[in-house]
Amino acid sequence: MKQRLVVIGNGMAGARTVEEILSRGGEFDITMFGDEPYGNYNRIMLSNVLAGIEDESGIFLNDLSWYAENGITLHTGVRIERIDRHARMVYGSDGSATGYDKLIIATGSSAFVPPIKGAHVPGRGYHQGVFVFRTLDDTRAMIRYAREHERAVVIGGGLLGLEAARGLQNHLGHVTLVHAAGHLMNAQLNVQAGKTLQATVEQKLGIEVVVDGMTTEILGKHAVTGVKLGDGRIIDCDVVVMAAGIRPNSAVAADSGLVVERGIVVDDRMRAVDEDDIYVVGECAQHRDQVYGLVAPLWEQARVLADQITGTDPGAAYHGSQVATKLKVAGVDVASMGLRGPESADDELIEFAEPKRGIYKNVVIRDGRLVGATLIGDNGKATALIKAFEKGLPLPANRSELLFDLGGPAAEENVAEMPDDEQVCNCNGVSKGALKSCVDGGCKTVSGVMDATRAGKGCGTCKPLVQRIVEWAAGGAVEEDPAASYYVPGVPMPKSELMAAIRQYELKSVSAVFGKLGGDEDAKSKMGLASLLKMMWGASYVDERDARFINDRVHGNIQRDGTFSVVPQMKGGVTTPSDLKRIAEVAERHGVPMVKLTGGQRIDLLGIPKEKLPQIWAELDMPSGYAYAKSFRTVKTCVGSDFCRFGVGDSTALGIALEERYQGVEGPGKMKLAVTGCPRNCAEAYVKDLGVVAIDGGKWEIYVGGAAGAHVRKGDLLTTVGSADEVITLTGRFLQYYRESANWLERTYAWVPRVGIDRIRAVVVDDSDGIAADLDARMDETVAAYVDPWKERAEPATPGQFRTSLPLTVLPQVPVRA
């Protein structure tokens, strides 16, 4: 027989917990009691209902059919008045008695009403015109009343009060916000942030704000006529909204003998103290002296509770939440987390204020970790700061990067305001609406959504936007994908750890890595592992051909019709009449469908069937240009000093020398280089993975981390050197450092800013870590091991290596036997 589970409370915490239990296949007979006469709705959205942005119907999370479909008995409008822990019964306001085996208390909280004279009328509840702002019914009553009146006072300048004030403006002409403390949102913000918020609220929204205002009395005989403050001031009004905070609903628990302090005290398993079968979740729970009033901790608690009650994970524990919030408070962007300001002399405070635009930002750093941050008026950096705060990530040496996007892309779009049909992923045609429905369908990780929709799986430029949309759609319930930090999804380790394990166990093939470290092999991880192992072991790497992507198996770039492109090497973009003739003859002889110049100054023969590749290579008799691999690609050059009247350095010769030396070197991503003979930059060296610019006086500047593809970035100046030889050496050392440090498919435009140009310069140019000689030696080994893959043509490396996979040509038909 199924166990009986009773849930007291049908709010966000109760319903979410039940959803978590159902998703774990929990087998219970579930009965839920809700004080309010509705299904379950998103209380956070009441501000939007008040502001007229959202319709009431849009805020319901689970309608009544959800309860029926999941076999849940729901009693709405019934308040549980007593719990008998010994008899395992709960008693309702309707006279009902219900037995349980397991009990969840999710009673939430109520509006806190300070003891102000005149707030209540004896025997009649609130004075006419006085409201709290907590439930859907409160909101409806407030809207109805406000529409027929003119001036409102909101008591309480916290989050809720600001939202109430903003919403009321929608229904009447004049709103005053009265706050007892010295600045708005004093629980989350420091004085300056609070003042900045106040200025915006007053000037942009037209809400009058009174701080240091203790309300002592509500005036009016039959209906409200005004409020009186402690200093004697009287503010005329006909509507009063109390938004002075919330208090946990713990009376039932206390009356029933549970341990209650500010809230109902729970342990790390979300169980009430000394109770094996009573769990508590949400705003009514007090965990390690903390009571939370935000939604994110509630989601975490619900997961732990569900893991425990279903026995899915008996080790699950709630350790408390780092509370970080990113909100629009009354139309103003506000993000806050951790400390409001420095608390000791060693704490670093980085602060920026631009009062005219209503912007204030600060971060507080302790021992190199972010321990607090506030953003007012500009939430652009909020997601990054929250991540750094929650995970304790290392911070950039240039602290101002925490507050600003320096030289980065333009300001982020507001995802909430994007239309549903707006295309987010322009490679795979995925709209914001498609991402949202994927999240609504239960997919709560960024990588899961990307896998399911293909969004962000093309050029990858939209990944940050996809991430923000998923976070927005999940309403703060986005789940961390542990695989995000792995080098490849199939082996649960970041790159440095993986490399250490590969060395320790001497794993020289991809199958050996899976066997020792990853369990089941994973198709999507093979290519990254093959690249890494080849880099690490060089000649002793055990090359399993199935670990290669098709491009690397047949040394050409696969095209949309299954044919391949053939790009012969053309060092520095310099060719000869005889080479051109040979390419032309081969193209003509084989009827090559398209001959095209590439962006990397080479010639591309497109539309070559797989089975013809060896023959074409043989007839060309030129080395591969590697226009298909995650490897060193080309060095684009200008005509340099030989012919150009502006050239100050022989860029062509240097480009050819670089390509000669580093041809075919594989890495985590493509490496595109350029050398240009003067700062006019005709070879576009500023936007290459590594670009070299000749400057007057026989010197060369080396730029790294540039890009001009899906992502555009000007490279950072690594250093300036006095000779071509130094350029060649530093290029090799930089590329080797990149190969060893960057994540799989992480191009230099992402890796350089992640590691920081200062750090890279220290390692590569100044040899701060003493590893320059080792990097050089390992690059020398790689260079020495270079073999032109197009020599692999006389004898296929595997059976059927070049056999067609599509009906491009007629295959030998296999006789059919009946």
Partner 1 sequence: MRTSVILGSLHDIPLGEGRTFAVDGAMIAVFRLRDGSLRALSAVCPHKGGPLADGQIDLKQVVCPLHLNAWDLTTGCSLSGQPPVTVYPVRVDNDSIILDV
For partner 1, the binding residues (CB under 8 A) are: 428, 451-454, 457, 490, 511, 520-524, 526-527, 544-547, 549-551, 553, 558, 560-562, 798-800, 803-807, 810-818
Q: Which is nearer to partner 1, 239 or 430 (CB)?
A: 430
Q: Which is nearer to partner 1, 411 or 810 (CB)?
A: 810
Question: Cα–Cα–Cα angle for 373, 378, 382, nearest 5°?
Answer: 45
- Kindly state the smallest distance separating residue 555's Cβ from partner 1, in Å: 13
- Kindly state the smallest distance separating residue 627's Cβ from partner 1, in Å: 16
Separation of alpha carbons 384 and 401, rounded Å: 11
Q: Which is nearer to partner 1, 341 or 492 (CB)?
A: 492
| Joined tokens for residue 52 | 């007229």
Q: Which is nearer to partner 1, 217 or 611 (CB)?
A: 611
Q: How many residues does the chain have?
A: 818
SS in 3 state form for 728-766?
A: HHHHHHHHHHHHHHCCCCCCHHHHHHHHCHHHHHHHHCC
Closest CA to 718 of 764, 751, 750: 764
C-alpha count within 13 angstroms, C-beta hemisphere, residue 266: 33
Instruction: Sort 640 into a burial class: Cβ within 10 Å, 0-12 / 13-18 / 19+.
Output: buried
- Kindly state the smallest distance separating residue 452's Cβ from partner 1, in Å: 6
| Joined tokens for residue 210 | 């009174």
Q: Which is nearer to partner 1, 419 or 812 (CB)?
A: 812
Separation of alpha carbons 721 and 697, rounded Å: 11
Q: Which is nearer to partner 1, 284 or 527 (CB)?
A: 527
Q: Which is nearer to partner 1, 245 or 489 (CB)?
A: 489
Angstrom CA distances, 804 to 475, 549, 568, stand at: 49, 16, 22
Q: Which is nearer to partner 1, 245 or 562 (CB)?
A: 562
- Kindly state the smallest distance separating residue 521's Cβ from partner 1, in Å: 4
Q: Which is nearer to partner 1, 208 or 522 (CB)?
A: 522
How far from chain centre, in Å, is Cα 704? 26
Collapse the DSSP code of 191 into the 3-class scheme (helix H, G, I; strand E, B; otherwise coil) and give the result. helix
First to last CA, the chain: 55
Q: Which is nearer to partner 1, 123 or 799 (CB)?
A: 799
Closest CA to 773 of 722, 736, 727, 743: 736
Angstrom CA distances, 709 to 146, 413, 463, 472, 747, stand at: 55, 21, 15, 28, 11
- Kindly state the smallest distance separating residue 559's Cβ from partner 1, in Å: 9
Cβ atoms of residues 266 and 275 within 8 Å: no
Q: Which is nearer to partner 1, 336 or 531 (CB)?
A: 531
Closest CA to 199 of 352, 353, 325, 341: 353
- Kindly state the smallest distance separating residue 504's Cβ from partner 1, in Å: 24
Q: Which is nearer to partner 1, 768 or 798 (CB)?
A: 798
- Kindly state the smallest distance separating residue 550's Cβ from partner 1, in Å: 4
Largest CA distance in the chain: 104
Separation of alpha carbons 270 and 395, rounded Å: 34
- Kindly state the smallest distance separating residue 625's Cβ from partner 1, in Å: 20
- Kindly state the smallest distance separating residue 622's Cβ from partner 1, in Å: 25
Residue type, 816: V
- Kindly state the smallest distance separating residue 806's Cβ from partner 1, in Å: 5
Separation of alpha carbons 430 and 422, rounded Å: 9
Separation of alpha carbons 400 and 270, rounded Å: 40
φ, ψ of residue 49 in degrees (nearest 5) = -65, -45
- Kindly state the smallest distance separating residue 807's Cβ from partner 1, in Å: 6
With tokens 């004080």, the residue in question is 35
Closest CA to 636 of 587, 689, 565: 689
Q: Which is nearer to partner 1, 230 or 800 (CB)?
A: 800
Separation of alpha carbons 128 and 238, rounded Å: 9
